[in-house]
């Protein structure tokens, strides 16, 4: 008998405010960290000048075009859409005593539009952006005061949207702070580990206090964390490689361990001691951390390998996250290795470790799409990628893993996070815009649009 997706499994896609909305100064929005990264997370930080231009300033103009886009998502059959709230639309500098009503009203309109089509919102509170005012005036998450500013923001949106949004996430890919501290915790990229882990501690406390607030304000709601699912394999079966792999996987699983279990895992005691890190942890922090998430959400794009062979490690420098490539896997145009079985492995690992429901909130293929003379786009490579990954999700469900849903990354073309490109396209819907910002912004259904429509319509039975 073929494995089935659960009856109430949620199907949809995922976007982020700073990658789709545009309208970067509209209706009282403040300056965010993302606004200062016109070349993306791994690009230079730029002080904005009057009249200058960044590709994300308009992005795909979702701020004005969301009714058209939501209608297209509904046509595919979406039952869930993951998006984020731009913190700077609600508190432009982060420390205001009163929220910006125009920003709150925008998300009311967006969630109302989704409700027209029975699409459930899954909302991330902070997706790779925070108010620049909190960095300039307070030092970002390095300052304990930022916890209170974040919790105030969270309570504001929970109270405003409690009848419209029942599924929430705290921080997007919270473990990315180790690789991109400005994006993750608002610290300079050259910050030392002591400063980064202290900021991460504040963020983990902020996340836990937001969980508690959500349970209080939205009693029937569910709130999860969000991890970058960076599962690593040992390159060889040499015990040194296996042990090093364990350690490196703990680098990111640590975040989940705190958010799901409610305390720091024992292995971090040795890590902090060896690294010369001494965290300031208040007794109240320990109590706050006990407010744990209801489910674990994660992104999955690829796996990597670990070796203690320094020659191999030197060769890997400059790869995404400096990962050693797996000789058994093919790669995308952007060098991301394609490993559908790795998703099943990751799901089993997370479920075994935490025994809480999972939600796959990002998975997709960034590729260059060619528009044919008749306007059609034949993205069979995207269909193959997503089909093979969804088959492995189905296998994990058969393994006994509880999964609430799947939101592929970028159901509509958007500005990529890492380098702020349009040419790296993820969508089922093509947006006419290029890396220089030229184009009409017209939307076109790709071949994959109809494929995903069939997958959702058949509740996964059409997967091959």
The residues assigned a catalytic role are: 173, 362
Strands (E) across 151-282 are located at 167-171, 222-228, 232-234
Q: CB under 8 Å to 259, separation ≥6 — which residues?
A: 170, 174, 204, 207, 208, 225, 292, 293
Query: Helix, strand or coil for residue 104?
Result: helix
Q: DSSP letters of 27-91?
A: GG---BTGGG-TT-TTS------TT---GGGTTT-HHHHHHHHHHHHHHHT-SEEEEE--HHHHS
Handedness of CA 183, 184, 187, 191 (dihedral sign): negative
Q: DSSP letters of 264-280?
A: --THHHHHHHHHT----
DSSP code, position 396: H
Half-sphere exposure of 386 (CA within 13 A, CB side): 35
Q: Residue 209 and residue 157: Cα distance in Å, rounded? A: 14
345, 395 contact by CB (below 8 A): no
Q: Kindly state the helix (H) or strand (E) to which residue 359 belongs, with its residue range.
A: strand 358-362
Please, is 265 exposed, middle or buried when counting C-beta atoms within 10 Å of its C-beta (0-12, 13-18, 19+)? middle
């Amino acid at each position: 008998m073929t494995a089935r997706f659960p009856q109430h499994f949620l199907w949809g896609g995922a976007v982020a405010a700073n990658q789709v909305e545009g309208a970067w100064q509209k209706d009282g929005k403040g300056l965010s960290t993302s606004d200062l990264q016109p070349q993306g997370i791994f690009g230079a930080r730029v002080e904005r000048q009057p009249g200058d231009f960044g590709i994300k300033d308009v992005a795909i103009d979702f701020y004005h075009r969301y009714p058209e886009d939501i209608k297209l998502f509904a046509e595919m059959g979406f039952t869930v859409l993951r998006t984020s709230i731009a913190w700077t639309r609600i508190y432009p500098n982060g420390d205001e005593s009163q929220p910006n009503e125009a920003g709150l009203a925008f998300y009311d309109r967006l969630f109302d539009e989704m409700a027209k089509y029975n699409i459930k919102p899954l909302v991330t509170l902070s997706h790779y952006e925070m108010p620049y005012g909190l960095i300039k005036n307070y030092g970002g998450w390095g300052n304990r005061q930022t916890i209170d500013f974040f919790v105030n923001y969270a309570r504001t949106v929970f109270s405003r949207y409690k009848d419209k949004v029942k599924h929430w996430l705290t921080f997007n890919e919270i473990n990315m702070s180790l690789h991109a501290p400005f994006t993750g915790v608002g610290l300079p990229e050259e910050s030392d580990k002591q400063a980064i882990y202290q900021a991460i501690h504040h963020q983990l406390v902020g996340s836990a206090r937001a969980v508690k607030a959500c349970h209080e304000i939205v009693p029937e709601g569910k709130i999860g964390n969000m991890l970058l699912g960076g599962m690593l394999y040992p390159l060889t079966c040499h015990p040194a490689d296996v042990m090093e792999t364990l350690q490196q996987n703990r680098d990111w699983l640590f975040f989940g361990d705190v958010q799901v279990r409610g305390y720091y895992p024992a292995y971090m005691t040795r890590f902090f001691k060896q690294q010369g890190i001494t965290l300031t942890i208040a007794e109240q922090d320990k109590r706050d951390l006990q407010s744990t998430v209801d489910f674990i959400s994660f992104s999955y794009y690829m796996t990597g390998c670990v070796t203690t062979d320094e020659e191999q490690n030197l060769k890997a420098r400059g790869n995404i996250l400096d990962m050693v490539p797996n000789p058994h896997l093919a790669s995308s145009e952007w060098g991301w290795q394609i490993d559908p079985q790795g998703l099943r492995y990751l799901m089993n690992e997370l479920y075994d470790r935490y025994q809480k429901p999972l939600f796959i909130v990002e998975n997709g293929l960034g590729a260059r799409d060619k528009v044919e003379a008749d306007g059609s786009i034949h993205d069979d490579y995207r269909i193959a990628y997503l089909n093979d990954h969804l088959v492995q999700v189905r296998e994990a469900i058969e393994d006994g893993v509880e999964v609430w849903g799947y939101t592929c990354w970028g159901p509509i073309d958007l500005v990529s996070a890492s380098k702020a490109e349009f040419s790296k396209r993820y969508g089922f819907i093509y947006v006419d815009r290029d890396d220089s910002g030229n184009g009409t912004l017209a939307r076109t259904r790709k071949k994959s649009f109809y494929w995903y429509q069939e997958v959702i319509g058949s509740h996964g039975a059409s997967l091959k």
